[in-house]
Amino acid sequence: MTTFNEMNLSTDLLRAIEDLNFEKPMPVQAEVIPYLIEKNVSDMIVLAQTGTGKTAAYGLPLLQKIDADNRRTQVLILCPTRELCIQVAEDLTSYSKYIKKVKIAAVFGGASIERQIKVLNSGAQVICATPGRLLDLLRRKETNLSTINAVVLDEADEMLKMGFRDDLESILSETPDDKNTLLFSATMPPEVMQITKNYLKDPKEITIGEKNVGADGVVHHCYMVQAKDRYLALKRIVDFYPEIYGIVFCRTKKETQEVADHLMRDGYNAEPLHGDLSQAQRELVMQKFRSKHVTLLVATDVAARGLDVDDLTHVINYNLPDEAEVYTHRSGRTGRAGKKGISIIIANLREKRKISDIERNLKKQIETKKIFTGKEICEKQLFHMIDKMVQVDVNEDEINPFLELIYKKLEWFEREEIIKKFVSLEFNRFLDYYKDAKDLTINTSFKDRNQNSDINFNRFFINLGNIDKLTPPELIGLINDLTDQKHIAIGKIDIKKTFSFFEADAVYTDTILNSTEDAYFEDRPISIELSSERPQRDNKKRSFHRKNSQSGFNSDKRRNNSKSDRYKDKRY
């Protein structure tokens, strides 16, 4: 199915799609629309990120099925936030603009309930709602869901994350049993699974792309800095990308406000977006960001939801979220609609483990990069400015009257000197700021890491040794293989005749100790215990090792590698 015309959509809907310049269906639309049209709507679970075109995917077929002559409520769309609710209602209104007598109502908190009641009373066939406000209206008996044919749970994972579970259940209990339920979610955590089990009947499951896989056009960069240098690192990143248009994600409202305040004070086009701002303030900020008067939006995850902007160049994780899925979601806000995007993580060494989790969730590698030096930034800014100068439009009429005098004033200078002076006029700010800029990158080589005392090692005993032909690289491979972890830092290794000692990052102690269950070396169970002897803190002498996929103990290799033939599956 390659075109909207082939989807049995009504001419009214096709005209509206044409007005919107949607050339062809997006993947989620190509899957969902024909199914819902042909099946006369049925229960569905759709795993799709925001920005994939899901509103039209459910909106078009549901609008097509509406009986416009009947003013009763037929479709209910539940959204986690006011912003998404408004956006969905606006989208549906534009899709249905040629369908006479169809009315879409948006009901959400933080706005006059009386006005919303008026709209509902006038008879809207489609209600887009946030759960809290809808419950309020139901309690006041201002709306009635007994005539609903279809319910859409849009961004179901977010609604549950925001604590709407009880509200959702109360709302769904007011709807008829024979309605159809369509659940859209970017992720499928257990709470969402539970909802699908309880409320969906024999649902058709559709996954757009792989579950939770990051957008294709996005590259992921990580900058390791000391926690105290986070803000300086952010500034350098922003300075290195003069055309940046992005969101800086923070963990808390307080941090969001502080980072935005600093950026504004330092002369950037930045604004904060978080839940402590009034609705009017939030809307103003989003408006400024959409129109690019603000180019850096500093936001919490919750506040940034519903902000639909397609052409972000960057997403910056000023601080990482707790859950890997949230990172995937954040980074999916760039690289949309076939464009390229960069998702940046500013992290410290203690967050290495989180970064591995994120890589697993994304199924992509995150490239660790060095923080830009002052020199690199100045160079980038300088050439950006020159490029801009080359491209600038000259308003001959306005400038000509002044030129004679200007030439006169400058006639004492050589061409080269004039160029230097003009460039410096713009550029001295950067040169001054970065004159004595220090290197912010933390050296992540293991030797230096230890000298920074960033890793706290524990010493372990393992019942394999020389007699088993165990070598240090093989021991490292074995540990990685057993634990299925990529980034465990291994310290000193001491291989004895029948047993060995090794040091490993203490953070992974439980993982290492629990990893030997059902693992055998030939016919001997492998045993790893914490050694009572603490590691010696002699930094200078210690050599360090980490995962070495050439070890022969790597899980992929252990079946093919002759050395690892000794190690059968689960039997090392």
Alpha-carbon distance 217 to 337, whole Å?
9
With CB under 6 A, what is the number of residues at the site for ligand AMP?
Answer: 13
- For the chain, helix, strand, coil in percent to 5 are 45, 15, 40
The rounded Cα 443 to chain-centroid distance in angstroms is 27
Say whether residue 185 binds ligand AMP (CB under 6 A): no
Segment near ligand AMP (CB under 6 A); pick from 24-32, 111-119, 136-144, 287-295: 24-32
Which residues in the 386-415 window bind ligand AMP by CB under 6 A?
A: none
Say whether residue 545 binds ligand AMP (CB under 6 A): no
Q: Residue 169 in 3-state DSSP?
A: helix
Partners of 76 in beta bridges: 127, 151
Q: Residue 282 in 3-state DSSP?
A: helix
Say whether residue 308 binds ligand AMP (CB under 6 A): yes
Question: Counting Cβ atoms within 10 Å, is residue 210 exposed (0-12), middle (13-18) or buried (19+)?
Answer: exposed
Instruction: Give the CA radius of gyration of the chain.
Output: 30
Q: Give the CB-nearest residue to ligand AMP.
A: 55
Q: Name which of 306 and 374 has its Cβ closer to ligand AMP.
A: 306
Question: Least separation, in Å, of the C-beta of 69 and ligand AMP?
Answer: 28
Say whether residue 214 binds ligand AMP (CB under 6 A): no
| Residue 495 contacts residue 462 (beta carbons within 8 Å) | no
Site of tokens 């995850």:
301
Q: Name which of 308 and 376 has its Cβ closer to ligand AMP.
A: 308
Q: Are strands 457-462 and 500-505 parallel, antiparallel or unpaired?
A: antiparallel
Segment near ligand AMP (CB under 6 A); pick from 21-29, 299-307, 387-395, 429-437: 21-29
Segment near ligand AMP (CB under 6 A); pick from 23-31, 393-401, 474-482, 515-523: 23-31
Alpha-carbon distance 19 to 91, whole Å?
12
Alpha-carbon distance 291 to 160, whole Å?
31
- Contact characters 33-62, ligand AMP, x per CB under 6 A: -----------------xxxxxxx------
Q: Name which of 36 and 234 has its Cβ closer to ligand AMP.
A: 36
Q: Name which of 56 and 478 has its Cβ closer to ligand AMP.
A: 56
Alpha-carbon distance 175 to 153, whole Å?
13
Among 7, 26, 326, 512, binds ligand AMP (CB under 6 A): 26
Question: Least separation, in Å, of the C-beta of 105 and ligand AMP?
Answer: 19
Closest CA to 253 of 233, 273, 239, 226: 273
Q: Name which of 25 and 477 has its Cβ closer to ligand AMP.
A: 25
Site of tokens 């549906």:
92
Which residues in the 276-295 window bind ligand AMP by CB under 6 A?
A: none
Say whether residue 25 binds ligand AMP (CB under 6 A): yes
Question: Least separation, in Å, of the C-beta of 217 and ligand AMP?
Answer: 15
Binding site for ligand AMP (CB under 6 A): 22, 25-26, 29, 50-56, 308, 310
